[in-house]
Structure 1
Amino acid sequence: MRIGVLALQGAFIEHIKMLQKLGVEAVEVRLPQDLEGLDGLIIPGGESTTIGKLARRFELMEPLRQFALSKPVWGTCAGMIFLAKEVSSGSAGRDQPLLGVMDIEV
């Protein structure tokens, strides 16, 4: 099993170490081609606005959306915010890139 961990910012190292401890092949995802051949993806905690802006800069937004349509994706903390369709915390959501693949508001 190959599980990717979005490695743009945040607690990606901790997730990779835990996956390796469990005997899972962990792959750092920084570019769209890093998603190829993965069985699932973890989007770790960190700072959700920064994660979104970096994903946009590295042209990962649409590849991540497409990946989430066919494979399991798990977001922790900021990762869950990034997956959400809406952010309700005032101005935080106005300039915050979101994948919008989970029908939730955070």
Structure 2
Amino acid sequence: MIKVGVTAFQGDVEEHIISVEKAMKEMGMEGRAVAIREKMVDIDALIIPGGESTTISSLMIKTGIFDEIKKVADDIPIMGTC
């Protein structure tokens, strides 16, 4: 099963998860919220929902998610929305 992480700091987190599940259910995809860096393991793709970018980037740095995203950036697809 393909696992799509959705950063869960601010923005349309639940809506993105629902969209992924609806659109990709037949293809065996699932969406999960990612708000702590331990949840970054075992994801095959990542969605970063838009919102207040200053707040989101601050929270991503504070929680260590930003460093984890940099580690996997060359290995998995990452999509940001506005």
Q: Say whether residues 1:15 and 2:16 are aligned partners.
A: yes
Stretches of structure 1 that go unaligned for 5 or more consecutive residues are 78-106
SS at 1:70 equivalent = coil
How far does residue 6 in structure 1 lie from its aligned partner after superposition? Answer: 0.5
- Matched positions, count: 77
Runs of 4+ in 1 over 2 A off after TM superposition: none
Q: TM-score, normalised by structure 2?
A: 0.87
Q: TM-score, normalised by structure 1?
A: 0.69
Greater fraction helix: 2
Q: Distance in 1 between matches of 2:46 and 2:52?
A: 18
Q: Say whether residues 1:48 and 2:53 are aligned partners.
A: yes
Which entry has the higher C-alpha Rg, 1 or 2?
1
Q: Distance in 2 between matches of 1:61 and 1:16?
A: 20
The higher relative CO (CA closer than 8 Å, separation ≥ 6) is in: 2
Stretches of structure 2 that go unaligned for 5 or more consecutive residues are none
Q: Distance in 2 between matches of 1:56 and 1:14?
A: 23
Deviations for 1:59-93, whole angstroms, at most 9, x for unmatched residues? 1121111111211100112xxxxxxxxxxxxxxxx
